[in-house]
Amino acid sequence: MNIIGELLSTLPDGPVLDVRVGAFWTAVLVSVEGRPRCGLASSLRRGGHHHGAGPEVPEAGRLLARPARQLADLARSTNPMEASIGMAAINALLPRYEARWVDLNAEAVMAEHGAGKQVVLVGHFPFIPRLQAQVGKLWVLENQPRGQDLPAEAAPEVIPRADLVAITGTSLINHTFDDLLALCRLEAMVLVLGPSTPLSPLLFEQGVDLLSGSIVEDVEGVLQAVSQGANFRQVKRFGVRLVTMQKNER
């Protein structure tokens, strides 16, 4: 069973209260034991915009009728927008490990653990210019490279050379996570980062050492921002907490 299957096996069920698919972020609101919980994920879509290509989300308009577990199962979909909705539902339903959360963002984690070391970052993040000055060597892998980014196809060349590998949580949506993780050396430290990241110790069992993700604290504010096309910096200001979890052994 891959990591998506492992995560799905741990989830409770409940009603879906809301689904918002914004320009950059997807949010799913569910009820768990009578309490509203909101999860985020990157909004991915197929390339281009073709009206005759069929709907991105075949059940659009009827998703609130599904049980939350069934919505979370969309994370297995090869349709990127469906998978985005599924991952947001997973993040809403996951058990909360609040005692293990520390208020630390991914940039700070990478600066600390990457000092003087070779670092690979999978995904282009806004903090890259600052991070370059804080680590020994930084390679950035990106599906749509910009600047000095390397194309995603360079992963087999650079990931096995890295002391720290930071993998975007979006890789769980586009189903590249398992392949990227397999390229990491056993002694390398592995971080999964970004708002799509599931804050679950199940990832530690797969070889991950650190998880840097997001917790929605102001549900109404975040839903409104997502609906209006906010990027993550904007969404964060409306009520998102950045936290990190660490594997106990390290």
Report yes or no on 231 lying in a domain. Answer: no
* CATH (domain of 196): 3.40.50.11590
Query: Quick one: 119 and 207 in the same domain?
Result: yes
CA distance 37 to 106: 23
pLDDT at 244: 98
| Sites in the chain below the pLDDT cut of 50 | 250
**Kind of pairing between the strands at 189-193 and 210-216:** parallel
CA distance 56 to 107: 33
CA distance 242 to 107: 11
Report yes or no on 39 lying in a domain. Answer: yes
**Percent of the chain surpassing pLDDT 90:** 89
pLDDT at 45: 87
pLDDT at 207: 95
pLDDT at 147: 87
Report yes or no on 9 lying in a domain. Answer: yes
Q: What are the tokens at 89?
A: 């539902």
Range of the domain at 32: 3-95
pLDDT at 250: 43
Of 156, 181, 158, 157, nearest to 168 (Cα)?
Answer: 181
pLDDT at 192: 98
- Is the CB of residue 245 less than 8 Å from the CB of residue 216? no
Average pLDDT value for the chain: 94
CA distance 201 to 249: 12
- Is the CB of residue 60 less than 8 Å from the CB of residue 75? no
pLDDT at 249: 53
What are the start-end ranges of the H helices in 94-127?
Answer: 106-113
Of 137, 86, 89, 120, nearest to 189 (Cα)?
Answer: 120
Last residue of a domain, one of 35, 69, 95: 95
Overall number of domains in the chain? 2
Measure Cα distances from 125 to 106, 159, 206 in Å: 10, 17, 24
How many Cα atoms are found within 13 Å in the side-chain-facing hemisphere of 49?
Answer: 0
3-class state of residue 20 by DSSP:
strand
